[in-house]
Amino acid sequence: MLALLTGPCVSAQKVTLPLWPDGNPEPYQGAAETDITKPTDRLVQGKALSHMTNVGKPTLAFYPAPAEKNTGVTVVVFPGGGYKILAYDLEGTEVCTWLNEAGINCALVKYRVPIEKKYPEDTQDLEDAQQAMRITRSHAEEWKLDPHRVGVLGFSAGGHLVVVLGNHPDFKRANEPATESAISARPDFIVAIYPAYLTEGPGLTQLAKGIDPVATAPPTFLAQTADDPVHVENVLVYAEALKTLKVPFELHVFNEAGHGYGLRPGPLPVTHWPALVETWLHTIDMLPGK
């Protein structure tokens, strides 16, 4: 299977590959992929954002860092959208622009949506995340990236997905070809920005089913705001679990900004989170020391 993931050598330009060249593990029978953005949808810093849905043919788009800046570090990016849509520009292409400017390669995932249930009730989300990691590492030589410095970044539902991936990188679906697990799907670090679905129960005091933190989880960066309607408890409870397991983590809780602000600059301190991530990547020895 992994032999089918390779392709012609590319450099200094975006390349887009299907996540499942032989077809999805679960057949898709929905409508055609579309952007359902409406003029009445909310704006972020005065700009609209895409609402991509009916993604039946998931893809990975690789945006290489400029050759003169390339650090070898790669971030696989998972936009959010409640597993209904993907905010593909706000939490995707715009993120790749920032990463490339920092000398970091970006692999942007268009994973399957909508799905009615998420992991563990439905495993399509985790399957797509694993496959994205394996495709990225399988192209390490031709894309000039370090396969041991490949992390993930997710927003909202994508934040949930990267946490699930970090704790379940070795998940095996029914009838999975043995060749698929030949390349590790474990990320080397995790960045979760306003993650959703990490907690449940009265008072949101316990981790949700399927999170299942493990001591081998990668170093993790968490950021959220106290006024997030998706609930700041997501990062607070998960950070406590990581602390108990002695998994390295960094936690930033800001006072305000709500949810879904991406990295568009604004007047509030939370919009500086990308600079905090860059500093953190130096401290965990992913980026070269300053």
At 221, list the tokens: 């960066």
Which amino acid makes up residue 159?
A: G
At 30, list the tokens: 């929905």
pLDDT tops 50 at residue 8: no
| pLDDT value for 1 | 32
DSSP letters, 135-201, are HHHHTHHHHT--TTSEEEEEETHHHHHHHHHHH-TT---TT--GGGGGS----S-EEEES--SSEES
pLDDT tops 50 at residue 11: no
Give, in order, the Cα–Cα distances in Å from 30 to each of 56, 66, 73.
7, 38, 36
pLDDT tops 80 at residue 19: yes
At 203, list the tokens: 């008072």
Domain ranges across the chain = 2-283
Write out pLDDT tens, residues 115-161: 999 999 999 999 999 999 999 999 999 999 999 999 999 999 999 99
Write out pLDDT tens, residues 220-257: 999 999 999 999 999 999 999 999 999 999 999 999 99
Q: CATH assignment of 2-283, given 3.40.50.300, 3.30.56.10, 3.40.50.1820, 1.10.287.180? A: 3.40.50.1820
Residues 6+ apart with CB under 8 A from 149: 72, 73, 74, 188, 286
32-56 mean pLDDT: 96
Alpha carbon of residue 246 to chain centroid: 23
